[in-house]
A and B are shown apart, each in its own frame.
Chain A
Amino acid sequence: MRDYYAVTDKVGQDPDARLSRLDGVATSVELSTRQQIVEQWRADGWRKTGRTTIADLIVQSVTMDNSDPDVGRVPTVQVDVCYDVSEVDLVDQAGNSRVSPDRADRGWERLYVANYDYKTDPDNGWRVASLETLEKAPCTG
């Protein structure tokens, strides 16, 4: 989980970082989405500064069904993460922040962490495959 945030931070911060690094932490639609976001930042000359931290984490469910990975029946862990981006900024080439003034420094999102290679790599094959924002009050503390 921490790798996911660290790698997405890294590829956003470093315009020269290979997008393929995301392959190690994301897959399926989340990989496509994350690639798209970073590609767009780079096309616009934006880059990320600072580091995302995890303020809280709650495992919601664990499914170990690995009956048909091709259709998404794979071991999956649903994790609610309260992230903290108070130290994160998104700046353009002129150094101006492109962050929405409405952005919350903290928020909850649900990550669907799946292992499509569970048979061959049960320990290290976990990737974030999908993500959704949760509508609930940010964590405190």
Chain B
Amino acid sequence: MHWLRATVTAIVAFAISGVAIPASADPHCKAIDRDSGVCVIIAQDPGSTAEPGPDRSASGTGGRSEAPAKPARRSGNGSACTWEPQGSITIHLDEAGGPVPCTSEYGVWSERWNCYLSEATPQPPTGAPEWEGHEQGDGAIYECRIPSGGLQGGVWLAAPPDAADVGPSPGEVAQIAVERMNLRAVEIGMSPDPDGPGVVALPTWLWVQDPGEQTFGPITRTASAGSVTVSATARVERIVWDMGDGTQVVCTGPGTPYESRFGRDASPDCGHTYTRESGFQPGQRYTVTATSEWVVDWEGAGQSGSLDVDDLSRSVQVSIGEAQVLVN
């Protein structure tokens, strides 16, 4: 953080319609445009600026198919660099602040100075006000420009600005919030029960045994790093049930727990019907795996986005047999 040692800047404000700053109105004015009579350079202390639908798969009830690819949700980490226009020195009032690239043709973004910094070429001469008393060779003078390129003046820095000095992006902070959620895989609810035998052609019901914020969401946590605070909300977008017989069932809800009153009905929202007994499988059982696919929406630093987190899975084994009917 070499640039924390920077001392004083000069901010240039240019006179345009309605935003000219009368020189007499600002006691911090350091330079007046002799033609327009407005202040074009304002002394400013560094750091006084403020630090900025998924493609759901349909619920399955036993379709014999591979699950569609997981919807792409990740929208990026946002930018760690945010521009906050300051009313008194903003060049274009119609320019909205917000996230900006951390590097541009105008240099490296500085949250501290609220502008892009690039070394002035050539460097101002001995005694020039930009040096603020520093000797030539002790640091350098950098031009400070807002995102549209408007020059804001020159600042002295002890060392070159480094893009690596920028803080974490909101998306990276959102990852921290996600870690605090302690998300876990669902406990599998299933009828027939994994401990008991199932029967070919009898509907199998699938559900989340322990629906809660940590297994199905939504769950919200906040995290902060540097000047960035992000609120992240995670939820299960879908659960992919691998039934072990080559079928994947995609359910966007937690499913419906089976009750005896449902008889031989199929699950209304998440189920499967085996068409072949499991005797040919290793251990003579199908391995059923429920994979929860989470998405996280985050908001912070004047930005928002979404990201994926690792899928969470849990498996059980189930025995499926043929029903034998004796006819005399």
* Chain A residues with a Cβ under 8 A of chain B: 12, 27-29, 32-33, 36-37, 40, 43-44, 48, 52, 61, 63, 65, 68-74, 76, 78, 83, 85, 88, 90, 92, 98-104, 107, 109, 112, 114, 116, 129-133
Contact = CB atoms under 8 A, between A and B. Distances in A.
Q: Enumerate the 3 nearest inter-chain pairs by beta-carbon distance, A residue then B residue, closest first.
A: A103-B37, A100-B37, A130-B128
A33 B14 CA distance: 9
B14 A28 contact: no
B151 A74 contact: no
Nearest to A12: B35
A27 B143 CA distance: 13
Most chain-A Cβ atoms within 10 A of its Cβ — which of B25, B35, B120? B35
Contacts of B23: 100, 102-103, 133
A44 B124 contact: no
Interface in B93-139: 120-131, 136-137
Contacts of B127: 61, 63, 76, 78, 112
Given A36-B150, A92-B17, 18 more contacts: A27-B122, A29-B120, A29-B124, A29-B141, A37-B40, A40-B150, A52-B34, A68-B136, A71-B137, A72-B122, A73-B126, A73-B137, A100-B38, A102-B37, A109-B31, A109-B34, A114-B125, A130-B130
A92 B16 CA distance: 10
B136 A36 contact: no
Contacts of A36: 12, 14, 150-151
Contact of B130 (A29, A40, A109): A29
Given A36-B14, A107-B34, A131-B31, A100 B20 contact: yes
Contact of B40 (A33, A52, A72): A33
A69 B30 contact: no
A134 to B, nearest CB: 10
A114 B125 CA distance: 7
B254 to A, nearest CB: 58
B24 interface: yes
Contacts of A72: 122-126, 128, 131, 136, 141
A131 B22 CA distance: 19
Contact of B125 (A32, A43, A101, A130): A130
Contact of A102 (B24, B31, B124, B131): B24
B125 A40 contact: no
Given A28-B125, A76-B125, A100 B36 contact: yes
B35 A48 contact: yes
Interface string B36-55: 11101100000000000000
Q: Chain B: interface residue count, which band?
A: 35 or more
Given A29-B141, A107-B32, A107-B34, A70 B128 contact: no
Interface of B: 12, 14-17, 20, 22-25, 29-38, 40-41, 91, 120-131, 136-137, 140-141, 143, 150-151, 153-154
Most chain-A Cβ atoms within 10 A of its Cβ — which of B36, B129, B130? B36
24 contacts: A29-B141, A32-B120, A37-B40, A63-B127, A68-B137, A69-B122, A71-B123, A71-B140, A72-B131, A74-B122, A85-B34, A85-B35, A88-B35, A90-B35, A98-B20, A99-B35, A99-B36, A101-B37, A103-B36, A103-B38, A107-B32, A129-B125, A130-B125, A130-B130
B31 A132 contact: yes
B30 A33 contact: no
A91 B14 CA distance: 15
A131 B141 CA distance: 14
A135 B41 CA distance: 14
Nearest to B22: A102
Contacts of B137: 68, 71, 73
Most chain-B Cβ atoms within 10 A of its Cβ — which of A73, A100, A102, A104? A100
Given A112-B128, A129-B128, A90 B136 contact: no
Nearest to B143: A32
Nearest to A69: B122
